[in-house]
Structure 1
Amino acid sequence: MALQTHELPNGVQLVYKHVPGNKITSVQLWMKTGSVNETAQNNGISHFLEHMVFKGTEKFAPDEIDTLVEAKGGQMNAATSKDYTFYYITIPTFNVETAFNVISQMVFEATFPKEEIKKEKPVVIQEIMRKYDSPTYDMWTYLSETLFKNTPYAREVIGSVENIKSFDRQTLLKYYNSFYHPENMTLVVVGDLSEDKAKELAMQYFNKTKDANPINKSFGIPDKLNKNVKKVFEKDITQSYTALVYRAPSLMSEDKYEMEVLTEILSGGEYSLLNEKLKNIENPLVNMVFGGYLGQKYGGSFTFFYTKHPSTDGDPLSKIREIIDNLQKGNLSEKDLKKAKNRLKAETVFQREKASNEAHDIGMAYTLGITDYYKDYVENIEAVELGDIKDVARKIFSDNYILVKTVPKNH
């Protein structure tokens, strides 16, 4: 069944899809805010606030939300990215009103009890500290800071320990009232629930207003890096990690489908191009290798990442550059292109058999303003031709790059 969209009187957008026969419904609330709307001083507040709306609302005491949803047979979670935040409950359809009630309370009527803020800070700080333990933490942080210098994308979603310690109730309320307002909300309902009932529950629970000070931000990222950048980190590790990164167009670009097909050609499965040339050979150059596109609303990146095989004297980087050169020359077979497109289309079809996955795809597309990314995804992937892959390879990989390595000390 096709999607049905309705705008509530207060500005909340309802997107509904009926999936008959499946007695499960996924209710998701997508918010047009993430770390992109933060400053250096409050970086991390989107993610921290996502934690805090579970910790008490006008109707529900702290910890009551999780207990209620679980008792009704539901699964609940949330996530924060640079461009958006979303909350979801997937639940048996006969208990679906609970999902509307709970999520509405979280996004309209969170109370931010001071004692709960105090209790949640160590939880998030521990999450930050775990990231520091990763041997590649410094390189990925450096890449973001360099690739998206002087923009909000340069900062991490999770924020810093110092910022988390500084957040108080007033700071959280100010951000909540600035960005958690109806015109920033997309309510997605997918499952075995009638359209009339979905509209009725949406009106009952989401047609609310609140005292808000709405703010919307936007920014631009230059298409190209102005120079090549190289950086090496030394760590107490036994294997080396390398990332070669190019700036790429955003998800708003028409090139996103070509870049996703290119990603599938390079990294889609054990017999992908990168694996066949660097790993599945008599003397492997790498333990693992990946090459792929990451698109965001205001910009994107295309990253090659590998761990070098300890017994090789070969140079994986030169082999990757050889692959890039061949792609730019159009040295790709129609057979390999077709296989990649078929895998992408099949993955999409299988993934969308699950209500929560389909609701996620709808929510992201509508929140970012790229509805074709959901509606016409399969058709747009099928339309990609050999010449398109050559063109996009030339467009991205002719630009300057960032090369970052993390290597063993005294290597």
Structure 2
Amino acid sequence: MTITCPTKTASQATVKTLEHGITLIHQYVPSVSVAAVDIWIHAGTSTEPEHMLGMAHFLEHMIFKGTERILPGEFDWFIESQGGITNAATSHDYTHYNFTTAAHNFTTTLEHLAEMLLNASIPDDEFEQERLVVIEEIRQALDDPDWLSFQNLMQAAYADHPYSRSVLGTEDILSGFTPDHMRQFHRSFYRPEFMTVAVVGAVPIEEAIAAVSQSFVNSTANSANLLSPDQLGLSSTSIASRGNGDRPYIAGMQRCQHQHPRLQHSRMTMAWLGPNVDNLNDALGLELLSVVLAEGRSSRLVQELREELGWVHDVGSSFAIQKDPGLFSISAYLDAEYLEPVEHSIAQHILRISSEPITTAEIDRAKRSLRNSFAFALESPHQLANFLGYHGLLGCYELCADWSNVYSDSVSSFSASDLQDLARKYLSPRQYVLSSLVPEA
């Protein structure tokens, strides 16, 4: 599959599925001297069986422990010796690995990273040492009010859906992992057909295709080693559709409150379930609504709750597209005494935005803000590779192929009535989750 446009512009990328199943998204930027690469893998919390919670994140750590050909820490040394940078992250739908290096080092660096991703040896001694590192990360997270606040919200909003799980897993489950468990998980998910590679920078398309094809063809994860979902404990649910059949649902108004001993100000988040990746247009419309409500000093909630009433120290809103339904959220830092009036005020604003047309001035400001934020967020090759890789993993190939125009045109197309319809569809003042974290009494 190749998605291209007849007259190619600077904002149009090439999307190709190579013969061994890996997806390549390439954006040529000859004006820079670097290559930014971001490799996204369908291996996150949503793909873990319950007895392996936290495995995807733990495996992310172990990938850097090398292969039979690459020693632990060698890849980091290799990158740093060239003046490059590298990083990795795990979430619900993915794990991804990225690097930025001089363009002339692109092929060699990609070969090293691909070798680690496909042929990780997961040595026993390194496994035990890194388990202690990950357990300490879990303990630190449990002491972080912002992490706790987020996790409480996800559990309340998603219930039995995989998004409710902590990406880190739990110390009890993690303590039961063996290197063989991880090798099984690795063989089943770290395969070219589950990978999307974004390449941005001064690398011609022919060089990118040749390098990706060569780097990812020598995989030891052949079909004989692939474990079935049943063998991994995933029942009969396929990797590709896991979670899709059980759409999360919020019934009525659900409130949960937790305490933290060293908290000075409370955290409060109200959230609604939005669309998934299959409805990109609705997702962009909700991004616009989040700007109208709580982005910038002139937005409705900032103006009323912070500037006029002084009930909150800060307030913001966001929506992020995901494989399964994402959360439209409004979050505030505030004193506990204002929790109830702030909730009531936000609910009133949600009701108003559903029943009264948004003004032209507000819509124009929101569109301008969103388009500008989008442009600023993709200024560097690293940022653009991140965007293209993530949306490519989700299957948003039209957006990737013409990223600037598709996004800008979609945002610009919304009318007041469109946004009102979206608010009615997704944002009910009587159907949401409220999660709060307050100082211990």
TM-score normalized by the length of structure 2 = 0.87
Counterpart of 2:378?
A: 352
Match of 1:49 among 47, 53, 59: 59
In structure 2, give the amino acid aligned to 1:112: I
Counterpart of 1:329?
A: 355
Match of 1:378 among 397, 408, 418: 408
Q: Check conservation: 2:252, 2:432, Cα contact below 8 A.
A: yes
Counterpart of 1:292?
A: 318
Q: Are 1:397 and 2:427 counterparts?
A: yes
Counterpart of 2:98?
A: 88
How does 1:7-406 map onto structure 2 within 5 Å?
7-209=17-219, 210-211=221-222, 212-213=225-226, 216=239, 217-219=241-243, 220-222=245-247, 224-236=249-261, 237-253=263-279, 254-281=281-308, 283-309=309-335, 315-374=341-400, 375=403, 376-398=406-428, 400-406=431-437
In structure 2, give the amino acid aligned to 1:267: A
Greater mean alpha carbon deviation, residues 75-84 or residues 288-297: 288-297
Q: What SS is found at the alignment partner of 2:87?
A: strand
Q: Check conservation: 1:55, 1:62, Cα contact below 8 A.
A: yes
Alpha-carbon offset, residue 189 of structure 1: 0.9
In structure 2, give the amino acid aligned to 1:213: L
Rounded Cα–Cα distance in structure 2 between residues aligned with 1:158 and 1:124:
8
Q: Check conservation: 1:284, 1:312, Cα contact below 8 A.
A: no
Counterpart of 2:235?
A: none
Alpha-carbon offset, residue 231 of structure 1: 2.2
Q: What SS is found at the alignment partner of 1:295?
A: coil
Q: Deviations over 1:154-212 (max 9, x none)?
A: 21111111222222210111001111111101121110011221122122212234224
Instruction: Give the ranges of 4+ consecutive aligned residues of structure 1 lying more than 6 Å apart after TM superposition.
Output: 310-314
Q: Check conservation: 1:10, 1:208, Cα contact below 8 A.
A: no
The 1:312/1:170 distance shift into structure 2, 3 A limit, reads closer
Alpha-carbon offset, residue 142 of structure 1: 3.1
Unpaired runs of at least 5, structure 1: none
Q: What SS is found at the alignment partner of 2:15?
A: strand
Alpha-carbon offset, residue 280 of structure 1: 1.2
In structure 2, give the amino acid aligned to 1:265: V
Q: Check conservation: 1:289, 1:304, Cα contact below 8 A.
A: yes
Alpha-carbon offset, residue 86 of structure 1: 0.9
In structure 2, give the amino acid aligned to 1:263: S
Alpha-carbon offset, residue 135 of structure 1: 3.0
In structure 1, give the amino acid aligned to 2:226: N
TM-score normalized by the length of structure 1 = 0.94
Q: Check conservation: 1:20, 1:192, Cα contact below 8 A.
A: yes
Q: Check conservation: 1:229, 1:401, Cα contact below 8 A.
A: yes
The 1:136/1:356 distance shift into structure 2, 3 A limit, reads closer
Rounded Cα–Cα distance in structure 2 between residues aligned with 1:30 and 1:141:
23
Q: Check conservation: 1:223, 1:248, Cα contact below 8 A.
A: no
Greater mean alpha carbon deviation, residues 386-395 or residues 371-380: 371-380
Q: Deviations over 1:209-239 (max 9, x none)?
A: 4224165142234364233322222333333
Q: Deviations over 1:44-88 (max 9, x none)?
A: 000110110101112210111100111112110111110111111
In structure 1, give the amino acid aligned to 2:129: K
In structure 1, give the amino acid aligned to 2:257: V
Q: Check conservation: 1:57, 1:106, Cα contact below 8 A.
A: yes
Rounded Cα–Cα distance in structure 2 between residues aligned with 1:54 and 1:71:
16
Q: Check conservation: 2:336, 2:438, Cα contact below 8 A.
A: no
Rounded Cα–Cα distance in structure 2 between residues aligned with 1:266 and 1:208:
50
Q: Check conservation: 2:70, 2:116, Cα contact below 8 A.
A: no
The 1:238/1:205 distance shift into structure 2, 3 A limit, reads closer
Q: Check conservation: 1:90, 1:356, Cα contact below 8 A.
A: yes
Q: What SS is found at the alignment partner of 2:200?
A: strand
The 1:7/1:310 distance shift into structure 2, 3 A limit, reads closer
Q: Check conservation: 1:330, 1:387, Cα contact below 8 A.
A: no
Alpha-carbon offset, residue 151 of structure 1: 1.9
Q: Deviations over 1:229-251 (max 9, x none)?
A: 22222333333222222222223
The 1:312/1:37 distance shift into structure 2, 3 A limit, reads closer
> How many residues are matched?
409
